[in-house]
Structure 1
């Protein structure tokens, strides 16, 4: 075998090896394909309807009630009557109460503690819907990924088009959808779309379609 033939065979084998290892493109190519690699943002807590808050006025226990935020967003406290609490940060509410009672209490020191943040329960959840064995809504835990949530939901059903799954995330301006290939994650261990989750994320798994040749 001369050098030219040997060189040709070597190049051909290299080409075949490279094409055999090529990475397949992700499905849903028209969507945003990957969330930004950022840690879940922690916004300042704002009081919501149903929250149990404790107001403490130093050295004035009679002015230090525990109150539940009513459906209209208000609480009732001594000397002030009804006060809007929903939407306020605890420190801002404490400042408003401090200013209001300073006319009857000298140099008041007011703190507001959210004893039971009921309103945050559903804002801090992640959900999976569609063709999974157990559609579910679960409390978010730091470190959760797409795979964690899908496994907790019992995996994809036989009728689910896992390769066309979506991750939907609310941002300040809009709802952003990211393509997920659950079939690749579950069947092949391809973790390229096993994205970290954030509170409020929703994973949806569509049904297979005959026209797409998915049955």
Structure 2
């Protein structure tokens, strides 16, 4: 074989090698792009995709059905008692009857009771305080071992609430969930729904939903 033929054969081998490398690069890039598109598609289909983060609790707590409160009437201790806000949002207060509590702050309810006792001539310049002794429960739904209602405790997070509910199922999405919140809203306002993370602080009455993962 002549030197010209040898050079031609060498050139052919180099071109084939480059072609194989190019195909390998294209194949790797294609797999990478397909994986990226797959991940993007799954994220777009995530149950919490498009949900804004849940606004933090206001700290301006409004009473709701299921809250237990203690009313202290300093002018007349016999009127002091513990009450539970009923399903219709009222408490049954002595001498007055049904008093609307849902949607009121503790201070607001104390003012309402004072005004009612004073305007009816039942007490002169009544001094009343209201404090929450037990908050209304939260609800944990979806992919947890024991979905249901659980007593709210101050400082409770999504993670601690899930622990109360027996932990996640093996199908659960663990890094995010959704919650519906009524805390801080007036009675006629619609609940707010948003995305939460394991360290998100919950509020009384929150309804948390843990979703199922796709694979």
Question: Which range, TM-score by smaller chain?
Answer: 0.5 to 0.7
Matching of residue 202 in structure 1 with residue 209 in structure 2: yes
Q: Could you tell me how far apart the structure 1 residues matched to 2:123 and 2:194 are?
A: 53
Return the structure number with greater helix share.
2
Taking structure 1 as reference, are residues 79 and 195 closer, same or farther at Cα in structure 2, changes over 3 Å only?
A: closer
2:80 is aligned to 64
Cα deviation for residue 155 of structure 1 reads 0.9
Q: Which runs of 5+ in 2 are unaligned?
A: 1-14, 16-20, 182-188
State whether residues 127 and 137 of structure 1, in contact with CA within 8 Å, keep that contact through their aligned partners in structure 2.
yes
Taking structure 1 as reference, are residues 98 and 70 closer, same or farther at Cα in structure 2, changes over 3 Å only?
A: same
State whether residues 53 and 194 of structure 2, in contact with CA within 8 Å, keep that contact through their aligned partners in structure 1.
no
Taking structure 1 as reference, are residues 170 and 113 closer, same or farther at Cα in structure 2, changes over 3 Å only?
A: closer
Alignment partner of 1:45 out of 61, 73, 77: 61
Q: Could you tell me how far apart the structure 1 residues matched to 2:191 and 2:125 are?
A: 45
Q: Could you tell me how far apart the structure 1 residues matched to 2:197 and 2:79 are?
A: 49
Equivalent pairs counted in the alignment come to 177
Cα deviation for residue 64 of structure 1 reads 1.8
Q: Could you tell me how far apart the structure 1 residues matched to 2:167 and 2:53 are?
A: 24
Taking structure 1 as reference, are residues 149 and 27 closer, same or farther at Cα in structure 2, changes over 3 Å only?
A: farther
State whether residues 74 and 82 of structure 1, in contact with CA within 8 Å, keep that contact through their aligned partners in structure 2.
yes
Q: Residue 66 of structure 1 aligns to a residue in which SS?
A: strand
Cα deviation for residue 61 of structure 1 reads 0.6
Higher Rg of the two aligned structures: 2
1:100 is aligned to 116
Structure-1-length-normalised TM-score? 0.54
Q: Residue 102 of structure 2 aligns to a residue in which SS?
A: coil
Q: Could you tell me how far apart the structure 1 residues matched to 2:66 and 2:54 are?
A: 31
Cα deviation for residue 142 of structure 1 reads 2.0
Mapping 1:83-94, distance limit 5 Å: 83-94=99-110
Q: Could you tell me how far apart the structure 2 residues matched to 1:150 and 1:71 are?
A: 24
Matching of residue 154 in structure 1 with residue 161 in structure 2: no
1:80 is aligned to 96
State whether residues 128 and 135 of structure 1, in contact with CA within 8 Å, keep that contact through their aligned partners in structure 2.
no
